Structure 1
Amino acid sequence: MIARLTIEDYLHRLASREPTPGGGAAAGLHLAQAAALLGMVARFTTGQRYREVESRAEGIAEASDRLRERSIQLAERDELVFAAVISAYRLPREDPEQQQERTRSIEQATILAADPQLDVLDIGTQIISLAEQLLEFGNQMVLSDVAASADAARAGLGTAVVTMEINARSLHTTEVVERLGAAVQQAEQAMCRADRISAAVRKALAA
C-alpha cells in the first residue's frame, strides 16, 4: 500500500521497471500534496487576527483533510486497477476464442481503470475551488503555498487528462469514450483556473 511506504521507497518503486505504480498513482499524490498545502494555509489563517474569517478557514482545513485522504486512497486504487489492465494484456491469444476473451477483458479492465482518473477530476476541481477561496482571505505570509497547491492540483489534473485521452483511444464503448472526452474538457477548464490562481499569487507577491 502506497500510504505505508516511505517517500524514498515509493520513489524507488516509481522509478523501477515495473508498470505500477505509474502516472495515475502519481496524480493521486499530487492531489494529496495540494490538499495538504491548503490545509496548512487554512490553519495559518486562524486566531485573533483572522477572527472574522476563522470559521471559513477551519472549514477549508477540514475539507482539505478529507480530500487529502481521498487522494491517497485514489493513488492506491489506481495502482490496483492498472495492474488489472496489465494482467488482461498478458492473457493468451493463441486461438480466436482466446483472442476474443482477451479483447473483452482488456476493454473491461480499461473502463474500470478510467474511474480513478474521473475521481482525479472531481478532487482536483474541489481543491482548486478551495484555493480560490483562500486566495481571497488567506494569511498573506503563506500565500505562495496557495499557488503551490494550485500547481500541484494542476499537475494531477494534467496527468489525468493524458491518461483519459489514452484510454479513450483504446476503448470501443462509445458511452465511456464520450464520458472521458467530456471529463477532459472539464479538467482543462480546471487547469486554467489553477493557472489563474498561480498568476494572481505571483502578481500579489510582486506588488
Structure 2
Amino acid sequence: MKNFKNQTLKEFLDHLSAKEPVPGGGAAAALTAASGAALISMVANYSKSKSPSNSINKEINNIFSKSEKIRKRLLELVDLDAKAYLKVVAARKGSPAQRARAAKAAQKVPLEVCRLCYEATQMTPFLVQNGNKYLLSDVEVAIELLLAAFQSSYVLTK
C-alpha cells in the first residue's frame, strides 16, 4: 500500500480520482480534518505572545500544541483508513463473519476522525475571543473543514 500522507497534494488527488479502492472518502475526510487542524495551528502560531496576559498566551500555546498533535494524528489516519478499507475489500471473499469483523474494524478510523474533529473545534472559541483578529476568517474556515470532515466520517460509520 502507498504511503498517502507523504505524497504531494497533486499525487494524493491523482490517486483519489483514480479507479482504485484507496484512498477514498475516509482518507479524504481525514485530510480535510488535518487541514482544519492546521489552520487552528496557524492562527495560534500568529497569536502567540500578542496578548499582554500570560494566561491567554499560555492557553494559545496550549492550543497550538494540541492542534499540532491532532493534525499529525489525522495525517496518520489518512493511511490507516486506506489500510482498513483494503482489509474490507479482501474480506469480501471471506465468510460473513470475516466481512463483519473487517467492517467493524474499518469503522474505528472514521470514529477517531470524528472525535478529533470535535476536540479541535473545542479550541476555536478561545481563538475567536483572544487570537489574532485578522485571522478570524481562518478560524471560521477551520471550523467548516472540521464540520465537513466530521459529517463525512460519520457517514462512513453507518
TM-score bracket, normalised by the shorter chain, equals: over 0.9
Percent identity among equivalent residues? Answer: 27
Q: CA-to-partner distance for each residue in 1:141-191, whole Å, 9 max, x for gaps?
A: 0110000100110111111121112xxxxxxxxxxxxxxxxxxxxxxxxxx
- Give the structure-2-normalised TM-score: 0.94
Paired residues for 1:94-105 under 5 Å: 101-105=94-98
Counterpart-to-counterpart distance in 2, 1:133 and 1:105:
45
- Give the structure-1-normalised TM-score: 0.72
Check the 8 A contact 2:70/2:116 in 1, yes or no: yes
Counterpart-to-counterpart distance in 1, 2:76 and 2:125:
24
Counterpart-to-counterpart distance in 2, 1:30 and 1:132:
20
Paired residues for 1:108-119 under 5 Å: 108-119=101-112
How far the C-alpha of 1:22 sits from its partner, in A, is: 0.3
The residue identity in structure 2 corresponding to 1:74 is L
The residue identity in structure 1 corresponding to 2:154 is V
| Number of residue pairs the alignment of both structures matches | 154
Q: CA-to-partner distance for each residue in 1:68-126, whole Å, 9 max, x for gaps?
A: 0000011110000001001111x1xxxxxxxxx52111101000000001101210000
- Match in the other structure for 1:9: 11
Check the 8 A contact 2:47/2:132 in 1, yes or no: yes
Query: Where does structure 1 lack aligned partners over 5 or more consecutive residues?
Result: 92-100, 166-207
- Match in the other structure for 1:88: 91
Paired residues for 1:38-53 under 5 Å: 38-47=40-49, 49-52=50-53, 53=56
Query: Where does structure 2 lack aligned partners over 5 or more consecutive residues?
Result: none
How far the C-alpha of 1:2 sits from its partner, in A, is: 1.2
- Match in the other structure for 1:69: 72
- Match in the other structure for 1:31: 33
The residue identity in structure 1 corresponding to 2:97 is R
Q: What RMSD, in angstroms, separates the aligned Cα atoms of the two structures? A: 1.0
2:123 counterpart of 1:130: yes
